[in-house]
Structure 1
Amino acid sequence: MASWFQKYSDRWHNDPYPFYAYLLEHEPLYYIQERGFWVASRYEDVNFILKDPLFVREYRNAVPQQHLQELPQPQSERNPLGKLLDNWMLFRDPPVHTRLRSLVSHAFTPRTMDRLKPKIRAIAEQLAAWMAEQPQPDLIASFAFPLPVIVIAEMLGVPPEDRELFKDWSHTFARVLEGTDGSPEFAQQAGKAAEQIADYFRRLIAARKSAPREDMISDLIAAQEQADALTDQELIATCVLLLVAGHETTVNLIGNSVLTLLNHPEQHARLLEKPELAASAVEEVLRYESPVQMTSRLASADCEIGGRTIRQGQSVNVMLGAANRDPAKFERPDRFDIGRSPNRHLAFASGPHFCLGAPLARMEGELAMAALLERFPQMRLADEKPNWRPNILFRGLGSMAVKL
């Protein structure tokens, strides 16, 4: 079992669901001795771990103070990558997480989403028109990848000519989050990417300080007068997090939506007949092919779950992709049903770290699906075998050739 969590392999990752079914039936809470962490796959346990304040993100909050004093001091102040990750709300606990999240949350309110909707619809339609002109269209490169880049770049205030810079940066940080490549070569690559993207946003923030615009960076700068406002380093790190998290997962959502629909022609036909099911279809894709397959937490005290004791300081990998196929929660979980209701999946996690950008991702997925179905009702796959990207944390396609 430990090998599944060490590196990508076609055997496990082209179709992880039989493995998840095994975990759910035989080892819903399993300790991997050689890796030193737990694996939780059952919906009830995953949801509990994500919501219970006993489970935290920061190691310093999970172990006794005397243990921390025995550890070497972190070198993040001299490490560009460490400086970014240390200031990502994704990896922080309250009260820092609460402060960071509250300062950014205004960008994802229902009013903001309503204002963005026409713009996102127009972007999706423009990309679909561009894809129609290509002799051998790749849905990922031509549509799924650029759409969220354009959206989050416009929200942040990134100039159009700079969007292409984010492609390699985004993929590099996705591999950083996965955490399975410990090679010196990748460490150097990740450090360089962190330095480059931090420098980029540092210059953009400086420009907005001298000439504010109607964008998220200008709004966050304006809020710096508050007592609990973002520091400059937190502001840079938050911009990077919004870019990476907002882009990587939405690319996967759009690609997984099209792939799953085309692999289920009866559901594809159903959606064409009833386009009002688009929002429900997005929720079912999120459950059925979750763009993020897992996350992790640390136990800050001993905790018993299902008759097993997770000790203080131990890490737990919570398998979102497995929990979303749990037969104890979902009837016929391996069946793709765009009308499924209720559908309380955990694709966006739950608890205090529930995905802040979930409303935006849902809207992008729905509008993308609508634009593609309307323009290309006869779309089909050009390749039989999906080209899954080699990443065990994110589930998404590297390319997807289609016939329009």
Structure 2
Amino acid sequence: MPAEEVSQMLTSNGPSPVFDPEAYAASFQSGVVVDDPHHDFARLRSQRPVHEGTVAALIGVPEGLSRRPRLRHEAPHFSAFSYETVHAALQDHETFSNSYYEGVTTDVFGRSILEMVGDEHRRHRALIQPAFGPGRVPWWVERWITPAVEEAVDRLAAAGEGELSGELCHAVPLRTITSSLGLSAAEANEFSGLYQRANPDPESETRRRARLKAVIHRIAEDRRNQEGDDLMSVLVASRLAGEHNDDRSLSAAEIESLLLLLMVAGLGTVWRQLGILLAVVLSEPEIAVRVREDPEALSRAIEEVIRWEPTDPVLRRLVTRDTVLGGTALPTGAVLELNLAAANRDPERWDAPDLFDLDRVQRRHVGFSAGPHTCLGTHVARAQLQLAATILFDRLPKLRLKDSGPPPRIIGLEHRCPTRILVTC
């Protein structure tokens, strides 16, 4: 996920400032707001599974930041739209390599697992994967997720109204991930404003990034001297397996890059997916009743929304050798864009795929990617969605969309998000 994900973010303390999701979504597409690209995705998928060109170009919108020179502008681009081709490419990480991202995010994260491949990726991911596994979900729920949700819902209850995208959906993952690392509320707020896109001040951004790295370094040193029960302690105590059956501790730079990536990815994905979930549920009275009354219905709604509207529709891979995918020849050095959103609505795999259906027979989707680079925090993300929605609806049984405000829409191409979700309690 690119660093610009954390743009125009909101603070975790107190009422959020006015947030403009349309400006956020448009900033990724040269100022154009993409409302609903699914019709175009379906048209292209029905023609053939793999097309030459980028997803943006194929649906006729400006490509904006997705075609910066550093993102291999000069390479031939192809886009996969069917579930079969997208899933196959995600599984074949040798032919379709995450080395596409090499150097793309280094200036923000340092060298991170996002751009690593093969054994290097396996060894680094193995360090942090156990902390995000199913068995550790209760640890996250008790220590960080529940307090974050309760704090956000308390503010909404006291105010009697609010805007869910900023005051709940963003606040919960921000508080969760930063608290798990030992950052204070003030330091978390510094992070939330780290990557501003509107009229950025490069010098200020550099200072903020240096400040955050200094905070991470300080906390890491504290945990080296006295171990705690948090994510930073896990990393400090971890041993990185070497190539020759040796191991070592992570360097300060490795801890910094991993944590910066975790904070950006963990914040953006949950913020937008929770917002999409609540926008759908509150807009459909029948779904709202079922979700409020039945935890199993809520679990099904979460899985369905990840399939139906994944927050990051497009991933990119570097083609490392001449190959054929979906009947299309791809040359070495080409960039393949994987359209997860189109794959997740492939009628060859799901009946009536454009319908948000709580009773759908659930099948594996690619909403959180697949293969070696499957989203690291899927279990924790699902827990945040489940707990946030459960506590919100239990504590605020009269919660509904404001009659006087515009209903929320889901917008964006590079990153899907809801417009403002104005509610009364």
Residue 425 of structure 2 is aligned to residue 384 of structure 1: no
Which residue of structure 1 lines up, in the alignment, with residue 235 of structure 2?
A: 220
2:95 to 29, 54, 58: 54
User: Aligned equivalents of 2:163 and 2:50: distance in 1?
Assistant: 40
For 2:335 and 2:263, locate their aligned partners in 1 and report how far apart those are by CA, in whole Å: 27
Report deviation, 1:51: 0.6
TM-score by length of 2: 0.79
Deviation of 1:193 (Å): 5.0
> Is the CA contact 1:37–1:314 (under 8 Å) kept in the aligned structure 2?
yes
Of 378, 388, 402, which aligns to 1:358?
Answer: 378
Equivalent residue pairs, number: 372
- For residues 356-399 of structure 1, what are the alpha-carbon distances to aligned partners after superposition, in whole Å with 9 as ceiling and x for unaligned? 1000001111111111222233322233343667x532212363
Query: How far, CA to CA, are the matches of 2:50 and 2:206 in structure 1?
Result: 35
Q: Which residue of 2 aligns with 1:241?
A: 261
What amino acid is aligned across from residue 45 of structure 1 in structure 2?
A: T
Q: Is the 8 Å Cα contact of residues 368 and 374 (structure 2) preserved in structure 1? A: yes
1:4 Cα shift? 12
Partner Cα separation in structure 2 for residue 103 and residue 153 of structure 1: 19
Confirm or deny that 1:40 pairs with 2:80.
yes
1:9 paired residue among 17, 21, 32: 32
User: Quick check: 1:249–1:394 contact (8 Å CA) kept in 2?
Assistant: no
Give, in angstroms, the shift of residue 158 of structure 1: 1.6
Aligned to 1:230: 250
Structure 1 gaps of 5+ residues are 62-73, 176-180
C-alpha contact (below 8 Å) 1:58/1:298 kept by paired residues:
yes
Give the 3 Å change call, closer, same or farther, for CA 318–228 of structure 1 in structure 2. farther
Partner residue, 1:305:
325
Q: Which residue of structure 2 lines up, in the alignment, with residue 139 of structure 1?
A: 164
Give the deviation of 1:260 after TM superposition.
Answer: 0.8
2:107 & 2:306 partners in 1: Cα distance? 32
Does the Cα contact within 8 Å between 2:400 and 2:424 map onto a contact in 1?
yes
**Matched AA of 1:352:** P
1:199 has 2:221 as partner: no
Report SS of the residue matched to 1:206: helix
Q: Does 1:286 align with 2:306?
A: yes
Alignment of 1:64-79 (within 5 A): none
Query: What SS does the aligned partner of 1:111 have?
Result: helix
Larger mean Cα displacement after TM superposition, 244-253 or 154-163:
154-163
- Establish whether residue 162 from structure 1 lines up as the match of residue 187 from structure 2: yes
Instruction: Work out which of the residue numbers 116, 125, 131 in structure 1 matches 2:150.
Output: 125
CA deviation digits over 1:205-233, x for unaligned, max 9? 23333343222212211225861542221
**Contact 1:59 1:313 (8 Å CA) reproduced:** no
Preserved CA contact (<8 Å) 1:85 1:91: no
- 1:272 equivalent to 2:292? Answer yes
Measured against aligned partners, the alpha-carbon deviations of 1:51-88 in whole angstroms (never above 9, x if no partner) come to 10211011599xxxxxxxxxxxx7x9xxxx63544421
What residue is the counterpart of 1:115 in the other structure? 139
One-letter code of the match for 2:106?
A: G
Letter in 2 for 1:305: L
Instruction: Show the counterpart of 2:360.
Output: 340
**Percent identity of paired positions between Structure 1 and Structure 2:** 27
Which sits farther off after the overlay, 99-108 or 204-213? 204-213
Matches of 1:18 and 1:293, distance apart in 2: 14
Query: 2:417: which partner in 1?
Result: 396
- List per-residue Cα deviations over 1:161-216 (Å, max 9, x = no partner): 322112122x55xx7xxxxx9x9x68777655544432332233233333432222
Deviates more, 1:379-388 or 1:47-56: 379-388
Structure 2 Cα separation of the partners of residues 17 and 167 of structure 1: 31
Given that 1:124 and 1:147 are in contact with CA atoms closer than 8 Å, whether structure 2 keeps it comes out as: yes
Between 91-100 and 119-128, the greater mean CA deviation after superposition: 119-128
Preserved contact between residue 8 and residue 392 of structure 1 (Cα < 8 Å): no
Offset, 1:94: 1.5
Unaligned runs of 5+ in 2: 1-25, 58-72, 242-246
CA deviations 1:332-375 (Å, max 9, x no partner) are 11111123222322111000001110000011111111112222
Higher helix share: 1
Q: 3-state SS of the aligned residue for 1:399?
A: coil
Could you report, residue by residue, the CA deviation over 1:225-283 in whole angstroms, capped at 9, with x for unpaired residues?
86154222111000111111111100111111100112222222222232322211110
Work out whether residues 227 and 233 of structure 2, in 8 Å CA contact, stay in contact via their aligned partners in 1.
yes
Deviates more, 1:235-244 or 1:185-194: 185-194
Matching residue's letter, 1:230: L
